[in-house]
C-alpha cells in the first residue's frame, strides 16, 4: 500500500484528484485555472451543472458542462475495464435517415430506442449512449450518438463486432462510424514552457507519425483560420474525454439524451464520490 505523502499541499491535491476522478496534476478543467467540481449530493434532481471557467493561457472565459451521473458511469466502466483487462472505447455514429427520424419520434425517447436497437443487434457489453444534434457542416441539425463502452484492443474481434453492429444503425458513408480507444487533447503552444522542454529534448514534431521517444503521442498542429499553433496529445479515454459528452445533456432531444445498458452501480458510486468530496472539504476546512 502506498504511503501517504507528508507534504500537506501534495496530500490535499491527491485527495482532490481522487474525489473528482482526475489524474494528479489535472484537477482543473482542461487548460483552465478552474478546479473541477466535486460530486453533488445524489438526491439532487439536477445531475448536470455548469462551471464558469477561465483559460489559463488567454484569460478568456467560457462555460463547461459536468454531469455527475455520466462521470459515475465512466468510473463504473473504468472499474469493469480494469477487471476484464479491456479498453474504454468511444464510438461516434452518424445515423441513417430512418434512425434519425426514430430518434425524434420514439415514444420512450431517442437515446433509449437507440440503446434497445443496439442490444437487439447483438452488442450486450455494458455501455452508455448519448444522443446529440450536429451543430455545423453538411449534417447540421441531424442527430447522431456517442457510445462509451469496452473492447479488447484495436486488433481484437470485439472492435470488429462493434463496428458491424453500429453499421446496422448508421448511414452508408465509410466515415459514419468512428471507433477509438483514445482522444486528442488540444491546447495552445506555450513558447515559454514548451520552449524550455524543447531546449532539452528538441523541437516538438509536426507529424503525429513521428518516432521521437520523448514526444510520443504529442505533436504540433497549425490552426490556419486563427493562425495559432496547438499542441495535440493523444490520450486514452479518461474522465475528461467522457465529460466532453456532457455538453448537450442539459438540452433534451425527445426525452433524455442518455441511455445505458449493463450499468448498475451509478447511484452507489455517486454516493461514494459525494462522500469523498465532502470529507475532503471538511478535512481541509473549505
- The full DSSP string for the chain is -PPPPS-HHHHHHHHHHHHTT--TT--BSTTBSSBPPPPPPTT-S--EEEEEEEBTTT--EEEEEEEHHHHHHHHHHHHHHHHHT-EEEEEEEEBPHHHHHHHHH-TT-HHHHHHHHHHHTT--S-EEEEEEE--SSTTTT-EEEEEEEEES-TTSHHHHHHHHHHHTTB-SSGGGEEEESEEEEEEE--TTHHHHHHHHH-PPPSSTT---STTTTEEEEEETTTTEEEEEEEEES-HHHHHGGGGGTTS-SSS-SEEEES---HHHHHHHHHHHHHHHHHHTT-
pLDDT for position 22: 82
CA distance 77 to 37: 21
> What's the order of all strands across the beta sheet hosting 127-133?
177-180, 87-94, 143-151, 127-133, 258-261
Grid cell for residue 83: 477487471
Residue-level pLDDT at 144: 92
Please give the Cα distance from 167 to 238 (Å, whole number): 25
d(CA 25, CA 76): 22
Rounded CA-CA distance 101/221 in Å is 38
Distance CA 53, CA 215 (A): 29
Region for residue 262 given its phi and psi (left: phi exceeds 0; alpha: psi -120 to 50; beta: otherwise): left
Which pLDDT score is estimated for 58? 62
- Give the pLDDT score at 89: 93
- Regions of the chain short of the pLDDT cut 70: 1-7, 44-47, 56-60, 153-156, 286
Amino acid at each position: 500500500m502506498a504511503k501517504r505523502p507528508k507534504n500537506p499541499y501534495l496530500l490535499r491535491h491527491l485527495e482532490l484528484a481522487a474525489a473528482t476522478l482526475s489524474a494528479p496534476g489535472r484537477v482543473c478543467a482542461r487548460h483552465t485555472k478552474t478546479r473541477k467540481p466535486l460530486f453533488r449530493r445524489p438526491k439532487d434532481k439536477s445531475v448536470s451543472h455548469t462551471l464558469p471557467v477561465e483559460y489559463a493561457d488567454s484569460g478568456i472565459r467560457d462555460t463547461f458542462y459536468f454531469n455527475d451521473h455520466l462521470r459515475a458511469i465512466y468510473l463504473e466502466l473504468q472499474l469493469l475495464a480494469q477487471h476484464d483487462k479491456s479498453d474504454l472505447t468511444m464510438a461516434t455514429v452518424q445515423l441513417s435517415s430512418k434512425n434519425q427520424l426514430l430518434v425524434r419520434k420514439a415514444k420512450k425517447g431517442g437515446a433509449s430506442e437507440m440503446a434497445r436497437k443496439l442490444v437487439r443487434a447483438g452488442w450486450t457489453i455494458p455501455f452508455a449512449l448519448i444522443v446529440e444534434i450536429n451543430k455545423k457542416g453538411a449534417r447540421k441539425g441531424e442527430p447522431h450518438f456517442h457510445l462509451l463502452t469496452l473492447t479488447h484492443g484495436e486488433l481484437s474481434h470485439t472492435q470488429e463486432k462493434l463496428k458491424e453492429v453500429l453499421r446496422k444503425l448508421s448511414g452508408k458513408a465509410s466515415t459514419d462510424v468512428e471507433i477509438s480507444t483514445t482522444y486528442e487533447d488540444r491546447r495552445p503552444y506555450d513558447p515559454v514552457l514548451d520552449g524550455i522542454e524543447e531546449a532539452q529534448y528538441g523541437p516538438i514534431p509536426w507529424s503525429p507519425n513521428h518516432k521521437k521517444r520523448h514526444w510520443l503521442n504529442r505533436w504540433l498542429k497549425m490552426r490556419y483560420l486563427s493562425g495559432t499553433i496547438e499542441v495535440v496529445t493523444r490520450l486514452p479515454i479518461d474522465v475528461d474525454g467522457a465529460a466532453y459528452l456532457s455538453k448537450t445533456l442539459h438540452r433534451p432531444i425527445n426525452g433524455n439524451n442518455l441511455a445505458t445498458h449493463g450499468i448498475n452501480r451509478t447511484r452507489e458510486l455517486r454516493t461514494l464520490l459525494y462522500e469523498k468530496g465532502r470529507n475532503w472539504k471538511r478535512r481541509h476546512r473549505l
